[in-house]
């Protein structure tokens, strides 16, 4: 039986996948795949090479540390063991084309995977606690958005979720009292969204028309809208939360302002704020 060694200075998942994909092209019982992660020293490589010489072996590796890559290449060549450098040639090619110096830090792809799952969790959170659903989620949120209908609460929640920020939002409706949990959320984690009544009137009328409904209905009535906006402002004053006027702002602009506020108030992780230069 032959052995394929999958080596890495990180967890070795990529090297192992490549080894298994290669082995699948042959009889599966002809190969043993040995995954050896977290290689940090030349001494470790020497021991692996010594073991590999005792049987038919191939080495597949994703080592990014230059010193370790060179050591592995020289030792493998010295003992006649084929060693396939999966990452090296690709890193060199990209560096030559782009002119950018690579980070050469192991495990970066798995950090990206962690970011991906955090982003998915934030999106699921935004959906679960959208539009005032399940008010208990307000206490778990990084940010709570409050405002009248059509102030972009849901689009903002989703945009911020893709930044790995967990957002809940609560509609402000005069006939419906805000959930009591909202008043337990620290003011610096709440953002009030207001809008010019005339601007909101046009947005709502257009929305009704697109749905085939009467644009003159109560939903788009200017008096009603003014009442809603004033009511929302009164609640925001009670909450003592920061307020953003979204009348002439794009989603991205409002989202950046929200992140700026919550980073200033230290309600988000400092690493996040530094990455986004906020």
Look at residue 13 in the predicted model and tell me its pLDDT: 86
CA distance 140 to 273: 20
- Show which of 98, 128, 143 is a domain's final residue: 98
Look at residue 266 in the predicted model and tell me its pLDDT: 66
Residues 162 and 217 in one domain: yes
Separation of CA 125 from chain center: 13
Q: What is the CA radius of gyration of the chain?
A: 28
Residues 86 and 159 in one domain: no
- Show which of 53, 80, 98 is a domain's final residue: 98
CA distance 246 to 236: 15
Query: Per the domain annotation, does 249 fall within a domain?
Result: yes
Domain of 62, in residue numbers: 2-98
Question: Across all residues in the chain, what is the average pLDDT?
Answer: 89
Residues 139 and 203 in one domain: yes
Residues 120 and 79 in one domain: no
Does residue 28 have a pLDDT over 90?
no
Span 112-134, mean pLDDT?
A: 86
Residues 225 and 146 in one domain: yes
Angle at CA 49, nearest 5°, toward 26 and 86? 55
CATH number at residue 198: 3.40.50
CATH number at residue 94: 3.40.50.2300
Look at residue 207 in the predicted model and tell me its pLDDT: 84
Residues 77 and 119 in one domain: no
| Count of structural domains within the chain | 2
Does residue 271 have a pLDDT over 60?
no
Look at residue 113 in the predicted model and tell me its pLDDT: 60
Q: Is the dihedral of CA 19, 21, 25, 28 positive or negative?
A: positive
Query: Per the domain annotation, does 68 fall within a domain?
Result: yes
Residues 12 and 122 in one domain: no
Span 140-163, mean pLDDT?
A: 95
CA distance 169 to 131: 5
Residues 253 and 226 in one domain: yes
Per DSSP, what are the bridge partners of residue 156?
A: none
Residues 94 and 189 in one domain: no
Residue 82: CB atoms within 10 Å: 12
CA distance 150 to 51: 67
Residues 73 and 202 in one domain: no
Comparing 10-24, 88-102, 181-195, 235-249, the range with the smallest average pLDDT is 88-102
- Closest C-alpha to 61, from 29, 89, 23, 97: 89
- Closest C-alpha to 140, from 178, 191, 186: 186
Span 49-74, mean pLDDT?
A: 93
Query: Per the domain annotation, does 205 fall within a domain?
Result: yes
pLDDT tens figures, 193-211: 999 999 999 998 888 888 8
Q: Which two tokens stand for residue 274?
A: 């530094």
- Show which of 55, 74, 98 is a domain's final residue: 98
pLDDT tens figures, 144-153: 999 999 999 9
The pair phi, psi for residue 72, each rounded to 5°, is: -65, -45
Residues 76 and 44 in one domain: yes
Query: Per the domain annotation, does 221 fall within a domain?
Result: yes
Query: Per the domain annotation, does 103 fall within a domain?
Result: no
Does residue 241 have a pLDDT over 90?
yes
Q: Give the DSSP letter string of 121-185.
A: HHHHHHHHTGGG-SGGGGGG-SEEEEESTTSSHHHHHHHHHTTT--EEEEE-BTTBPPPGGGGGS
Comparing 10-19, 147-156, 212-221, 228-237, the range with the smallest average pLDDT is 212-221
Look at residue 88 in the predicted model and tell me its pLDDT: 81
């Amino acid at each position: 039986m032959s052995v394929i060694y999958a080596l890495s200075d990180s967890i070795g998942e990529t090297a192992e996948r490549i080894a298994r994909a290669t082995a699948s092209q042959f009889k599966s019982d002809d190969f043993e795949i040995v995954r050896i992660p977290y290689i940090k020293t030349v001494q470790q490589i020497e021991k692996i090479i010594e073991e590999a010489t005792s049987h038919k072996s191939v080495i597949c590796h994703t080592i990014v540390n230059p010193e370790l890559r060179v050591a592995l290449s020289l030792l493998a060549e010295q003992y006649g063991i084929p060693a396939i450098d999966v990452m090296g040639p690709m890193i060199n090619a990209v560096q030559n084309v782009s002119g950018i110096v690579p980070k050469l830090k192991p495990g970066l792809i798995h950090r990206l995977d962690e970011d991906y799952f955090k982003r998915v969790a934030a999106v699921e959170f935004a959906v679960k606690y959208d539009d005032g659903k399940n008010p208990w989620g307000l206490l778990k949120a990084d940010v709570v958005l409050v405002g009248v209908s059509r102030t972009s609460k849901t689009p903002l929640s989703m945009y911020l979720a893709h930044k790995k920020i967990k957002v809940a939002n609560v509609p402000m409706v005069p006939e419906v009292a805000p959930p009591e949990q909202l008043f337990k959320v620290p003011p610096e984690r709440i953002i009030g969204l207001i809008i010019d009544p005339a601007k909101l009137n046009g947005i709502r009328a257009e929305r009704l028309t697109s749905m085939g409904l009467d644009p003159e209905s109560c939903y788009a009535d200017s008096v009603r809208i003014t009442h809603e906006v004033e009511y929302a402002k009164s609640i925001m004053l009670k909450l003592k939360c920061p307020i953003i006027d979204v009348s002439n702002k794009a989603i991205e602009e409002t989202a950046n302002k929200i992140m700026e506020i919550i980073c200033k108030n230290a309600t988000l992780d400092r690493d996040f704020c530094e990455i986004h230069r906020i």
